[in-house]
Each structure stands twice: as structure tokens, then as C-alpha cells.
Amino acid sequence: MTGGTRLAGEVAVPGAKNSVLKLMAASLLAAGRTMLSAVPDILDVSVMSKVLAGLGATVERDAAGGRLSIEVPQAPGVAADGELVRQIRASVAVLGPLVARRGEARVALPGGDAIGSRALDIHVNGLTKLGALVDVESGVLVARCSGRLQGASIWLDFPSVGATENLLMAGVLAKGTTVIDNAAQEPEIADLCAMLTAMGGRIDGAGSSTLIIDGVDQLTSVEHRTVADRIVAGTYAIGALMTGGDVLIRHGQAAHLSIVLEKLVQAGAEVDVRDDGFRVVGRGQPRSIDVVTLPYPGFPTDLLPQIIALESVSRGTSLITENIFDSRFAFCRELHKLGADLRTDGHHVIVRPTARLSGTRVTASDVRAGAGLVLAGLVADGVTEVSDVHHIDRGYARFVENMTDLGADIRRVSDRAVA
């Protein structure tokens, strides 16, 4: 890509990566056909489709129309394909549904982004309280339950999104009442609760830190529309401010990005919230802001690389603190190659202003780092080449095409690079 152009125009935000993968896992809770709409055309959906197919489901995808059909058999398999599971961490979400419905689940220890340790202890402890016996056998997480899971009161040591989702899906078919305290509150969990409720689940407290689930004997398959992707929306919003642009982000839900949009306003953006999205306008050089990532409704860790890219071209010094993942700052090494003035210290990074970024070759280490590097390349002098963009494909549908439509001078030269 060649820097120096401003983003202007409209972009439509698809359904959320962080929701649709869990909705796909939830389809395992009921025999029959689940229909999902607003499904993003991303690599992770393809991988998760193969995981479900390996469990006996028939998955049909209309990528252009954003629809996904999942036909689940009466007795799905219990062993998820290890090679596929290691490609995306979200595949561990099949653990709760399988042990709840089949009494057994075998899921390889998952892979995904290289952004630090994300232990499964919270998942395991919760399932154990529900009556499952959980062990690791040759790199495979095995959960078994003789008979039906039993409702229990579960306190999460950390509001883990993945653990909340797994225990929620296990709890809807458990006997009795399950209470999950200190649950994650992300909009994607509320989306999962909405689908499970439509399937016949009984859930109180969606969107709060306490979920109360009254188990039912059986669920039915449904049609469900995926909530809009707030991280994709936030990425385009930051890009608009960085480039002094003017972007209408259609389908973006401002309520899910309240702290992010507040920070962008502090940095100099004009934000206009509309019925079907919001508009972000950047005028002049952004002002520096300090950011601390926290579980929702705090500033999302998935927008950390993008906000660091913004700070690298802002006026003044900023302090960015990461409280979720211990290796998220690996992105800073690549941004430094573009000329950013960064200094990391544990969970903090100090970003000082620099006259200009300068294009060079950089490597995407994960989904969000890749997006952050593209944003940096949009404002860097000369040509920036981002390699390993298969990471970006995992979470951003039509990213290059959308950026081009907004006026960016960007093209894909292979599956492994954007230039």
C-alpha cells in the first residue's frame, strides 16, 4: 500500500467474528437445521465449518449472501479434529455443547493468535462444578459426564469470554439452575444468550455480570442474525481519524463502542451516531490519549494495535496499558520498523510523537496486529508491505476491497502479502 490517502465514503460492518463462531458451536445443542445470517466472509468461519463437519454436521455456506446453514444430526460426534482446532482458539467452544448433549467431548488444546497465554483453567473448573470429569490426554482436553450435567453456582476468577460462553452453553441443558457470577459482559455473549433463548433456553441476566440459567431437557434449532462486529467497526473508525477522513460505518452499533468513540472524540474526531451506524470525521492531526484495556464495557484489547497505530501519529505522548493478554505488544516491534517512537515496559507502552512514519516491510502476527499495521501503512510515506495477511483474513471480510472503496491505495499481491 502507498500512504497519504484519506479514507472517505461508506463501509458496511458484517456480523461479529467473536460471536458467529460461538453461535456455530451452539448449533450442536439441538438436532436439526440452524440458519445464521449476517455471517462474515472470513477464514475462521471456514475453519469452524470444517470442525462442525468433522462432528457430523452438514454445513452449507452462502458467503456472498452472508448465510450459513448447519444441519446437526441426532448424535453428533464427540471428537473435534485436532489440526483444525489448533488453527482457531474459538473452536474450544464446542466443548460445552458436546459434553452437555453427548456426555463426552474431546477437543485438542486450541491454537489461534500469538498474543500470550490464555489458560483453560476457568473452563475446566466450571465444567467440573457442573459434574464433568475433565482431563488432558495426549494434548487433548477430554470432558466426560455419566448422565446429565447438574446445575451449580460458579464464580469466575476472571470474566473470561470463552469460559462464560462454554459454561453458558453447558448450563442450558444441565439439570437445575446454574448461576455464573463475574461473567463476561461482551455484546457477543448477549448475542449468544439471545440465540439460546430462541432455541428454548431459560436465561436471565444477559449482558450483566450474573447469568442465571434454568436448565431444560431439549433445545430446538432456530434462525438467528449475528450481532454486528464492533471490532471491525472500531478499526474503520480509527482509520478515519488517522487519515483525516470521513467514513460512515453502516450497521456499526455505537452503544457497543461507547468508550472507544469517547476516546476518539478526545483525540479530535467528530462522531455522529445515526439509526443505522455512525459517522467518524477526522480533522487535522489527532491529539494523544491514554488508553487502558479492560473487559467489556472497558476499552477492548482487540483494538489495542489499532489505537497504538493512531497514537504513533498523534500530537503528544500517550501511555497505553494492556491488562488482558501478555504478548499483545509484539505488534510494537513491527510498528517500530515503520518509524514509530515506542517504548514498552511490562504491560505498558509509551508512545511519543514522530514526524512521519516511513513505509517498509512488516509482518502481521495476529488478526488485530495485521489491521493495525495496515492503518499505519495508510499514513506512512512510501510503500508499506504487510506479510502473513492470512491473519487479517481470519477476522476482516473484504478488507482490501473495503479499504480500496474508501480511497486507500492498497492491493493484495498474494495470499501472504498486502502491498
Question: Which tens digits make up the pLDDT trace of 92-151?
Answer: 999 999 999 999 999 987 654 443 345 688 999 999 999 999 998 888 889 999 889 999
For residue 417, the model assigns a pLDDT of 43
On the question of pLDDT at 277 being above 70, the answer is: yes
On the question of pLDDT at 294 being above 60, the answer is: yes
Residues 6 or more apart in contact with residue 189 via CB below 8 angstroms: 161, 164, 165, 168, 183, 206, 207
Higher pLDDT, 87 or 69: 69
Residue with cell 467514513: 247
Q: Rounded to an integer, what distance in angstroms lies between the CA atom of residue 112 and that of residue 203? A: 30
For residue 136, the model assigns a pLDDT of 87
303 is a domain residue: yes
Q: Rounded to an integer, what distance in angstroms lies between the CA atom of residue 364 and that of residue 217? A: 45
204, 235: one domain: no
Higher pLDDT, 114 or 152: 152
Residue with cell 452437555: 100
On the question of pLDDT at 261 being above 80, the answer is: yes
107, 131: one domain: yes
In contact, 149 and 170? CB cutoff 8 Å: yes
Report pTM: 0.95
Average pLDDT over residues 246-275: 98
197, 237: one domain: no
61 is a domain residue: yes
262, 332: one domain: yes
For residue 337, the model assigns a pLDDT of 97
295 is a domain residue: yes
Higher pLDDT, 63 or 156: 156
- Would the annotation count 324 as a binding residue? yes
For residue 114, the model assigns a pLDDT of 42
On the question of pLDDT at 326 being above 90, the answer is: no
For residue 111, the model assigns a pLDDT of 55
pLDDT digit string, tens, across residues 392-406: 999 999 999 999 999
CATH code at 251? 3.65.10.10
198, 72: one domain: yes
Instruction: Specify whether the backbone of 32 is left (phi greater than 0), alpha (psi in -120 to 50) or beta.
Output: left
For residue 419, the model assigns a pLDDT of 38
191, 236: one domain: no
Average pLDDT over residues 44-65: 95
- Would the annotation count 17 as a binding residue? yes
For residue 109, the model assigns a pLDDT of 79
Reduced to 3 states, what is the DSSP secondary structure of residue 192?
A: helix
277 is a domain residue: yes
57 is a domain residue: yes
On the question of pLDDT at 416 being above 70, the answer is: no
85, 234: one domain: no
> 93 burial class (0-12, 13-18, 19+ CB within 10 angstroms)?
buried
On the question of pLDDT at 66 being above 90, the answer is: yes
Which of 181, 216, 251 is the C-terminal boundary of a domain?
216
On the question of pLDDT at 8 being above 80, the answer is: yes
107, 244: one domain: no
2 is a domain residue: no
Three cell numbers, residue 77: 460426534
Other beta carbons within 10 Å of 21: 27
188, 332: one domain: no
For residue 113, the model assigns a pLDDT of 42
In contact, 123 and 92? CB cutoff 8 Å: yes
Question: For the chain, what is the domain count?
Answer: 2
- Would the annotation count 394 as a binding residue? no
Higher pLDDT, 296 or 89: 296
| Strands of 104-108's sheet in order across | 104-108, 140-144, 133-137
* Percentage of residues of the chain with pLDDT beyond 70: 96
Average pLDDT over residues 240-245: 98
pLDDT digit string, tens, across residues 336-366: 999 999 999 989 999 999 889 999 999 999 9
109, 254: one domain: no
Backbone angles phi, psi at 166, to 5 degrees: -65, -45
Q: Rounded to an integer, what distance in angstroms lies between the CA atom of residue 70 and that of residue 64? A: 17
Enclosing domain of residue 323: 8-14+228-418
Which of 158, 188, 216 is the C-terminal boundary of a domain?
216
Q: Rounded to an integer, what distance in angstroms lies between the CA atom of residue 412 and that of residue 218? A: 47
236, 371: one domain: yes
The mean of the pLDDT values for the chain is 93
Q: Rounded to an integer, what distance in angstroms lies between the CA atom of residue 369 and that of residue 367? A: 6
Which of 216, 247, 270 is the C-terminal boundary of a domain?
216
Position 16 confidence tier, pLDDT thresholds 50, 70, 90: very high
Give, in order, the Cα–Cα distances in Å from 260 to each of 59, 227, 294, 392.
36, 18, 12, 21
232, 90: one domain: no
- Would the annotation count 302 as a binding residue? yes
Average pLDDT over residues 161-179: 97
67 is a domain residue: yes
183 is a domain residue: yes
Give, in order, the Cα–Cα distances in Å from 318 to each of 285, 338, 377.
14, 18, 20
Please identify every residue annotated as catalytic. Answer: 113
On the question of pLDDT at 327 being above 90, the answer is: no
Could you give the angle at the alpha carbon of 200 between the alpha carbons of 217 and 193, nearest 5°?
115
